[in-house]
Amino acid sequence: MVAKLTKGFWPKVARIILRNRILILIAIAGFTVFLALQWKNMQFSNTEANILPDDHPASIEYNAFTKIFGEEGNAIVLAIRDSALFTPQNFNRWNKLSKQLEAFPEIDFVLSTDNLKVLVKDDETQAFVMEPFIKNPPRTKQEVDSLTNHLFNELPFYDNLVYNPKSGTIQTIAYLDKDIMNTAVRNEFILNDLGDLVKGFEDETQLDVRVSGMPYIRTWNTKSIVDEIGIFIVAALLVTSIIFFFFFRSFRATFISMCVVIIGVMWAFGFLGLLKYEITILTALIPPLIIVIGIPNCIFLINKYQQEVNKHGNQALSLQRVISKIGNATLMTNITTASGFATFIILDSDLLKEFGIVASINIVGIFILSLLIIPIVYSFMPLPKTKHLKHLNKRWIDFFVNWMERMVRHHRIAVYITTVAILILSIVGIYQIKITGSRIEDLPKNTHFFKDIRFFEQEFDGIMPMEIVVDTERKNGVIKPATLKRMDQLGMAIDEIPELSRPISVVDLIKYSKQAFYNGIPKYYQLPTSQENTFIMDAARKSSGNDNLLESFVDSTGQTARLTTFMRDVKIDRMEEIEEDVLQAIAKFFPSDRYKVFMTGKALLFLKGTKYLVKNLLLSLALAIGLISLFMAYLFRSFRMVIISLVPNLLPLVITAGVMGYLGVPIKPSTILVFSIAFGISVDDTIHFLAKYRQELATHKWHIKRSVYAALRETGVSMFYTSIVLFFGFSVFIISSFGGTKALGGLVSATLLFAMLSNLILLPSLLLSLERSIANKQVLKKPQIDILPKEEDGPKDK
């Protein structure tokens, strides 16, 4: 019943399209204008990708931390490693830069040599007071040297916070207003105001200022994404148009196809605006993806039109057959491709969910555009000239098709031996794959902000914050001597881990208080003894001006404290080891029955998020395979045909995974995306081939060999064309400066090339070898949907 409805459906669609050409073109133009008006709603992401769901334990703990201590990643750091800084002119100019920074409304607070406070004891009041580090601007080199000697040798509290005594690097920390952290105001300030300020300083002093910090990195990362969108679109259009023209040798066909995909790109941006989704590193890939995926639709439609014209020369019949024969097959292939992307929708990650929604919608959209625009535009044009049809009879294409047929006809054993050998080698390679990656390894390596990240890692042991929250479960429990001692022991254990910086906590403030009590002598920078504790804490309580410092480390009730450390850029496997080491230290020093202690911070969220994402992307791949298997079962109503169709599409995935193992490419979010995308696209060739094969079976009265060879000859050319376009189209992403995008482009391209050979050689070979198992009408029943309607004779066929 469904098949009968389908059989009559597509001819009706063809008639509707060809009888309402002007109306359809007006409707497309109107809808395109509507979506273009939505572009104003597009905005680039100012927030970090939300990978973990809100109910994940790591998210809950991080949110609990931010409620007490606020956003942790709001610091911009500026540093200079140059002895020329320590001249009166340059040193005072550096302090002036801090004043200029603090004057901006976007800056909440600046910590620098200019406003550094020194904790000293007031003998009269028996209290601590904060005095300025620099009372008067230094005028001589000796005064500068005296200040730096005091800082480097007598103020250990600021070690690794404001200075590095080993290299002489000086650092200024500017804390952004937390209200603008995730807004466009942050980007404007960093790109314009901060950039101009730093450039002015560098021009005046000839000193090189290094700048970093999470807001700074995120802003420049966003700018890099924005810059690459245009490059990708132009490159994808250029590459696909050149390949398309090389195959068809027709400016007209190339121009029509480019118009189709350009409208598709406009729709892609329009849907992003309509849904009010932010442009992230993933959604930025959708416009060029639409170009790469849309061109194969154009190839199948235009190639079929030219084949029909070459066969009988009747334009009306050719256009009607293009829609009725290729329309259904193209719909099925686009649905499977969209399904590969749509599986991301089920994941809890907003980043992948939005990518899946917009990508799947636009893949269906580009199918609709192709099916409507190409036949309609050709209906207004004269028949293709003989020179436009020459590509149908090119010798090298005949050579390629003959080679495929020869391999399938005479060398099937060699095909199977080669397949098994490659499969074994790939499985060996898979065992060498590691699930790893790092926070910054996919960032553009040749940018100034990436080089500055490495600088701060070397000088200050990293910029990725990791927090340990200590809840004493009683008011003022933090300042109890036993708690401070435990925090100090934990801090020393953390300091022994080479990838972590010296942790900063209330312990440092208490040590600094003892040093101040003993008139600033550095050797007294340690926790008070039980005898000293009473009068040092009394002096601290009498002090004024320390509230801001204390609030950074302890909550208002004195119950909860934080230890802040920073992590170098390390691989995920090492990050897991570090997490385990810190958890063991926490368990050792803080009994669980008396303290509630947990780890959090951006570094830990990245670790948890990556593991969560990899797990869910594997689920997404399994779902894509299952979904497309059900789809194939519905189309062909044969379990054996489902198995036969899956083998040539799963094999390329295994080969790619093996290649990743041998090349040392790790499994991480950016590389595991490859498998779902490639599987959804590669199965298109299988559908085209099996659809034609099923049709040839009826024509050749269930003679499998004739049907396989006929299907191979008719679909082989189009499958070759589309695979080459997809290969070079996805290769465009290799020019990206982002490591993840580059890996995505290279791996998808390779997988699709493997898939083409697998579908053109292994699939026909399997059909021929399993002839006895499938050569009956019970196994190959009438499909639920006639993907390709039965051939009709044209005027010249009779």
Residue 418: how many CA atoms within 13 Å on its side-chain side? 11
Q: What is the pLDDT of residue 473?
A: 87
| Range of weakest confidence among 237-246, 383-392, 412-421, 453-462 | 383-392
Residues paired with 129 in a beta bridge: 120
Check pLDDT > 90 for residue 403: no
Confirm if 762 and 651 have CB atoms less than 8 A apart.
yes
Check pLDDT > 50 for residue 795: no
Q: What is the pLDDT of residue 420?
A: 92
Which H or E run includes 209?
A: none
Check pLDDT > 80 for residue 531: no
Residues paired with 278 in a beta bridge: 43
Task: Label residue 519 exposed, middle or buried (CB < 10 Å: 0-12, 13-18, 19+).
Answer: exposed
**How confident is the model over 85-112, as a mean pLDDT?**
89
Confirm if 552 and 525 have CB atoms less than 8 A apart.
no
Q: What is the pLDDT of residue 298?
A: 86
3-state secondary structure of 317: helix
Could you tell me how far CA 232 lies from the centroid of its own chain? 15
Q: What is the pLDDT of residues 292-348, one digit of tens each?
A: 888 888 888 887 887 787 777 788 888 888 888 777 778 878 887 888 788 888 777
> Measured between alpha carbons, how far is 86 from 147 in angstroms, rounded to an integer?
10
Tell me the pairing of strands 43-44 and 278-279.
Answer: parallel
Could you tell me how far CA 670 lies from the centroid of its own chain? 5
Of residues 223, 334, 328, the one with CA closest to residue 281: 223
> Tokens 């400066």 correspond to what residue?
737
The DSSP code for 129 is E
Q: What is the pLDDT of residue 542?
A: 52
> Measured between alpha carbons, how far is 608 from 604 in angstroms, rounded to an integer?
6
**How confident is the model over 20-48, as a mean pLDDT?**
85
**How confident is the model over 661-683, as a mean pLDDT?**
78
Give 436 or 267, the one with higher predicted confidence. Answer: 267
**How confident is the model over 626-653, as a mean pLDDT?**
78
Give 362 or 522, the one with higher predicted confidence. Answer: 362
Tell me the pairing of strands 107-111 and 560-567.
Answer: unpaired
**How confident is the model over 486-510, as a mean pLDDT?**
88
Q: What is the pLDDT of residue 32?
A: 94
Band of the pLDDT at 489, cuts 50, 70, 90?
very high
Of residues 157, 91, 175, 84, the one with CA closest to residue 118: 157
Residue 669 one-letter amino acid: P
Backbone angles phi, psi at 81, to 5 degrees: -120, 90
Residue 560: how many CA atoms within 13 Å on its side-chain side? 15
Could you tell me how far CA 129 lies from the centroid of its own chain? 50
Residue 70: how many CA atoms within 13 Å on its side-chain side? 15
Burial 143-165 (b: 16+ CB within 10 A, else e): ebeebbeebbeebbbbbbbbbbe
Q: What is the pLDDT of residue 779?
A: 46
* CA distances, 568 to each of 52, 169, 697 (Å): 22, 18, 63
Check pLDDT > 60 for residue 798: no
Give 677 or 97, the one with higher predicted confidence. Answer: 97
* Cα dihedral sign, 635-640-644-647: positive
Burial 433-455 (b: 16+ CB within 10 A, else e): bebbbbbbebbbeebebbebbeb
Residues paired with 117 in a beta bridge: 132
Q: What is the pLDDT of residue 395?
A: 65
Q: What is the pLDDT of residues 359-379, one digit of tens each?
A: 999 999 999 999 999 999 988
Could you tell me how far CA 472 lies from the centroid of its own chain? 39
Record the tokens describing residue 257, joined without a space: 């196809």
Q: What is the pLDDT of residues 770-793, one digit of tens each?
A: 766 655 544 445 554 454 545 444
Name the average pLDDT for the chain.
81
Record the tokens describing residue 156, joined without a space: 């250990």
Confirm if 273 and 38 have CB atoms less than 8 A apart.
yes
Residues paired with 599 in a beta bridge: 468
Confirm if 499 and 581 have CB atoms less than 8 A apart.
no
Task: DSSP for 166-198, please give it.
Answer: TTTEEEEEEEEPGGGTTSHHHHHIIIIIIHHHH
Backbone angles phi, psi at 596, to 5 degrees: -115, 110
Check pLDDT > 70 for residue 161: yes
Band of the pLDDT at 555, cuts 50, 70, 90?
confident
Q: What is the pLDDT of residues 706-752, one digit of tens each?
A: 878 887 877 777 778 778 888 888 888 888 887 778 888 888 888 88
Radius of gyration of the chain (CA): 33
Confirm if 111 and 244 have CB atoms less than 8 A apart.
no
> Measured between alpha carbons, how far is 456 from 149 in angstroms, rounded to an integer?
22
Q: What is the pLDDT of residue 105?
A: 87
